Amino acid sequence: MHRVLITDPLSEQGIEQLLQAEDIEVIRKTDLTPEQLLQEIKEADALLVRSQTQVTAEVIAAGKQLKAIGRAGVGVDNIDIPAATSRGIIVVNAPDGNTISTAEHTFAMLISLARNIPQGYRSTIQGEWKRKQFVGVELNKKTLGIIGLGRIGTELSKRAQSFNMKVLAFDPYLTQERAHKIGVTQATLDEVIAQSDFITVHTPLTKETRHLINADAFQRMKGGVRIINCARGGIIDENALLEAIQAGKVAGAALDVFETEPPGHHPLFELPQVIATPHLGASTREAQENVAIDVAGEVLHILRGEPFKNAVNLPSIPAELQEKLRPYQMMAEKLGSFASQAAAGALQEVTVSFSGELAEWDTAPLTRIILKGALSHYLSDVNYVNAPHLAKERGVKVTEQKVSKRHGFTHLIRVHVATDTQDITIAGALLNGLGPRIVRINDYSVDVEPAGHQLFIQHHDRPGAIGRVGTILGNHDVNIAAMQVGRRDLGGRAIMMLHIDKAVPEGLLESLEELDEIDHVTAIDL
């Protein structure tokens, strides 16, 4: 008999499968004090929570029998993931349960923004009748730009097309084949920004997407564009949005999320062109039921030893294999991350090759780690377990190969990433006394530590090129910690790998690419 402890209110329909299971004993105790939780967790095999219960390292340590922790929702900020992982406890969430609710809420905001519904409501109940003041626009034949075509963006596109809207979509993993299947037009981010009448964002909030829609983006938009954000606060620069509305560039904005929540008395709320809701994207009865159903099902699978998909940490593998693979795990993720950052475009293929003694082991866990590194550049919810699922969902082909040739190394991992515009091959090895190293980039031999802030520079081998690069970095107050140069022929194509002491400052990449010798510069953060 498995004991499942539920410490936050969950939908009754959601946990019905647990209540009806003959091999499950459900214990519901909400509003526990930290001390009470430490007592109750001792005999639990699984813990189900929402956001109220704080699952700390102390709680996890007290759960001697704990095998799974389920979060009925997406975020797991209230769970100490490293502590759970170190104990071999699987943490699962429910990333799919709110897809329809969020897509519908976004579309409701879209229509409300187009027809001034909240503004008209406020005016009418105040005894006014200002029909001319609230003239809106039709959605028919307008262009909707969707930035981020994941689950929610895809569902939103279906609804927009039913209103006869043209949908432009940008997503790093969107291929032409998938775009055609969904019925949208694949576009670059610049094309979405420049051509859309309505723009909605559906990306995670990451280092790359923070203030993705900024003052420069607003300048490049159509006059009278309307903006919607039901994803994450911070993707849109709220100060820049304020200025763009005040300047008349943006006709209106519909916001469900904010950089700081609750936002308090926000300057945007002073503008009649702005409508807002208090993060209601997932706030439907159905969504609350769905996330509870999903996470309860996942926990049930784990306790019964059945397959599951929404884990947010690494599943257990045999101790002997874990010990063998442990030295390669960090390098594997870095190789995937490097390759993904270095190859622009929609990801289509990831091919992983293991050489030497590695070819004799079960390297599937390393392939998952590499794939997680490759996908995490754009996806915040990817982990070692769901990386293959997310890759398949986005049409990314994943291939694992094993070859006996050692290429001069006892163990060698090669990662080949192909996008719709280019490809790149990265190879890594463990060097005695030095640890993980990137030893090859395409056809160039290098010796690069896969860590910190890097600049990957593709250039022509000409006298003075390195000096000019160094001068520009100095002018931007950037110190070079290490440099590697690779070339095939004297005076031909070459690469530079620069390890720098801080994140790339604004304007540095543009300044470097102005040099005649430079073909392309990519900032790599490892």
Residues with catalytic function: 232, 261, 279
What are the residue ranges of helices labelled H in 50-139? 57-62, 81-86, 99-115, 117-125
Quote the radius of gyration of the chain (alpha carbons, Å).
26
* Size of the chain, expressed as the number of residues it contains: 526
The rounded distance, in Å, linking the Cα atoms of 307 and 131 is 58
The beta-strand segments (E) located in 204-346 are: 225-229, 250-255, 274-276
Residues contacting residue 33 through CB under 8 Å, at least 6 positions apart: none
Strands (E), 277-346: none
Query: Cα angle vertex 376, ends 96, 321, to 5°?
Result: 95
Residue 450 CA to residue 325 CA, distance in Å, equals: 17
Rounded Cα distance between 353 and 103, Å, is 39
| Burial call 165-183: b when 16+ CB within 10 Å, e when fewer | bbbbbbbbbbbeebbeebe
Q: Where are the alpha helices (DSSP H) in 41-79?
A: 57-62
